Amino acid sequence: MEHSRDRIYVDGAWIPSTGTGTLPVTNPYTEQVLGTVPEGTAEDVDKAVRAAARALPGWAATSLEDRVKACTAISEGLQARAQEIALAASTEMGAPWQLAVMVQAGLPIISFASMADLVDEVEWERRSGNSVLVRQPVGVVGAITPWNYPLHQIAAKVAPALAAGCTVVVKPSELVPGVAYLLAEVIDAVGLPPGVFNLVPGTGPVVGEAIVTHELVDMVSFTGSTRAGRRVAELAAAAPKRTSLELGGKSASVLLDDLSAEELGNAIAGSLTGCLINSGQTCSALTRLLVPRDRLAEVEGLLEVFAQFAPVGDPLQPGTQQGPLVSKVQQERVRDYIQKAIDEGAKLVAGGPEQPEDQPTGFFVRPTVLVAEAGSTIEQEEVFGPVLTVVPYDGGDEEALAVANGTAYGLSGAVWASDRDRAVAFAKRMRTGQVGINGGAFNPTAPFGGFGQSGYGRELGSLGIEEFTNITSLQL
């Protein structure tokens, strides 16, 4: 697969960047540089945004049916290249092969295909008294996306934006840009009108900030860290312009006190899986496991065993459950969190900060389980690695709820109970965007987004399309 990309995609054509800089793309398993992408410039962004602004009236006037057909064609194009997408996700960010196929390649295909059904759930026009409320495209959208689900996070913005009649400028993560190039190639082959989709790789401080501050960008959809999200909101506020932010998380999986021994085992297995998916590099990962204090020893024993069934290794080997983290910087950050937790008195149940003995290279962090009290650093702050913090609670559901809601975040969560009605009642009181009940599966067409410092706005589902619209009231 071609990893060295020397062009940007603007106005329906592959053109050189106006700058001469390049950014290296590294394989986090071999630690070798795979290739480079252009280090985009503010001038590149200006070209892309102006192309998107020129294309907007024509694309907005295209029928909804034709816009949906384009999304369906893109989905089919991605399906045809699913193996390439999975390979790029494995080699550029370390996603284990099975996850790369099912999630890294699979979800973006669903996002584009789902537009055919989801547009029917949107009320494009409705009466209200003597008015007709009409949904209009918000305009030129700047999409700034992260490295952990590099194509899914792009598709979750681009598919609904295109369906809504918007034009788009995408900044992919400079760490994992290959999948974005594959999407651009698919879109080029589908033959969208020039300027409807544009791709400019580069760094956040240059390309990202140029997108956010450009006078012709009507809305910025950003996924990434809370720190970077604050910067996006701050810059956008000067215009002001619309933003949708999907940021960090510290999601709680709560075990209520009525679980049988068998149910407890299932809940712990489900919670650990929900923590370790994508090697823990998931904003909605279930990174806190809240357990009744009188069952802590039982939980620790199970986790010690279960953590051994998450083999670390070469992402392209079929049995690998845990790949490397995306970069050396990320590896060191996560290891520092583990060491700090131990220094502050957390109990190490499994894993630890050391390199796995059988992996001499690769940015690995061993799947780690710690026990820590509510309010500790490891219980409060997002780690973004394969680290589960077990948090004992006393005092029944009310204290469990206080601990679950006791961080600055609110992106996801889970509740486990013998009594399903009790679990549902508990879940409704959690200040978070999604809650799994007794292992309820992730729904790729349900709205996704957060409370608090996890951001605002919603992606996926019909609300994900509505996010890219504005309302005009026609008074009759």
Report the alpha-carbon distance of residue 350 to residue 365 in Å, rounded. 12
> Of 237, 171, 159, nearest to 210 (Cα)?
171
| For residues 4-11, average pLDDT | 90
pLDDT grade for 85, boundaries at 50, 70 and 90: very high
| For residues 175-187, average pLDDT | 97
Q: Both ends of the chain: CA-CA distance in Å?
A: 58
Residues 64 and 129 in one domain: yes
Report the alpha-carbon distance of residue 65 to residue 124 in Å, rounded. 13
- Whether residue 22 has pLDDT greater than 80: yes
> Of 457, 434, 445, 452, nearest to 284 (Cα)?
434
pLDDT digits (tens, 9 = 90+) for 108-167: 999 999 999 999 999 999 999 999 999 999 999 999 999 999 999 999 999 999 999 999
β-pair type (252-255, 413-416):
parallel
Question: Is the overall model pTM greater than 0.95, yes or no?
Answer: yes
Structural domains of the chain, count = 2
Residues 62 and 156 in one domain: yes
Mean of pLDDT over the chain: 97
> Of 87, 30, 29, 34, nearest to 322 (Cα)?
29
pLDDT grade for 318, boundaries at 50, 70 and 90: confident
Residues 355 and 310 in one domain: yes
- The answer as to whether 307 is a domain residue is yes
> Can you give the pLDDT at residue 315?
97
| For residues 401-415, average pLDDT | 98
Of the residues 174, 209, 246, 459, which is catalytic?
246
pLDDT digits (tens, 9 = 90+) for 220-233: 999 999 999 999 99
pLDDT digits (tens, 9 = 90+) for 373-400: 999 999 999 999 999 999 999 989 999 9
**What CATH number did the domain enclosing 103 receive?**
3.40.605.10
Residues 294 and 178 in one domain: no
Residues 239 and 295 in one domain: no
**What CATH number did the domain enclosing 367 receive?**
3.40.309.10
Residues 264 and 299 in one domain: yes
| For residues 396-415, average pLDDT | 98
> Of 297, 136, 293, nearest to 219 (Cα)?
136
Q: Are 127 and 155 in contact (CB under 8 A)?
A: no
pLDDT digits (tens, 9 = 90+) for 196-213: 999 999 999 999 999 999
- The answer as to whether 89 is a domain residue is yes
Residues 412 and 463 in one domain: no
Residues 364 and 401 in one domain: yes
- Whether residue 107 has pLDDT greater than 80: yes
> Can you give the pLDDT at residue 1?
37
> SS3 helix, strand, coil % of the chain, rounded to 5?
45, 20, 35
Residues 156 and 36 in one domain: yes
> Of 171, 196, 374, 409, nearest to 283 (Cα)?
409
| For residues 60-78, average pLDDT | 98
- The answer as to whether 121 is a domain residue is yes
Sign of the dihedral through C-alpha 451, 458, 189, 43: negative
Over the Cα atoms of the chain, what is R_g? 22
* Type of residue numbered 292: P
- Whether residue 2 has pLDDT greater than 90: no
The DSSP secondary structure of 427-460, one letter per residue, reads: HTTS-SS--EETTPPP-TTS-B--SGGGEES-BS
Residues 162 and 303 in one domain: no
In sequence order, the 6+-apart residues with CB closer than 8 A to the CB of 100 are 85, 86, 87, 89, 90, 315
> Of 3, 49, 13, nearest to 185 (Cα)?
13
- Whether residue 308 has pLDDT greater than 60: yes
Of the residues 39, 92, 283, 382, which is catalytic?
283
Phi, psi for residue 52 in degrees, rounded to 5: -65, -40
pLDDT digits (tens, 9 = 90+) for 271-294: 999 999 999 999 999 999 999 999
- The answer as to whether 318 is a domain residue is yes
The full length of the chain comes to 476
Report the alpha-carbon distance of residue 285 to residue 270 in Å, rounded. 11
Q: How far is CA 228 from CA 235, 323, 436, in A?
A: 11, 25, 28
- Whether residue 440 has pLDDT greater than 60: yes
> Can you give the pLDDT at residue 395?
85
- The answer as to whether 1 is a domain residue is no
Give ∠ CA 118-121-125 in degrees, rounded to 5. Answer: 125
- Whether residue 3 has pLDDT greater than 50: no
Active-site residue, 166 included: no
- Whether residue 421 has pLDDT greater than 70: yes
Q: At what angle do helices 178-190 and 152-164 cross, to 10 degrees?
A: 30
> Of 29, 385, 19, 25, nearest to 180 (Cα)?
25
Residues 342 and 457 in one domain: no
- Percent of the chain with pLDDT strictly greater than 70: 99
Active-site residue, 283 included: yes
Residues 207 and 282 in one domain: no
Range of the domain at 180: 8-247+453-475
- The answer as to whether 2 is a domain residue is no
pLDDT grade for 4, boundaries at 50, 70 and 90: low
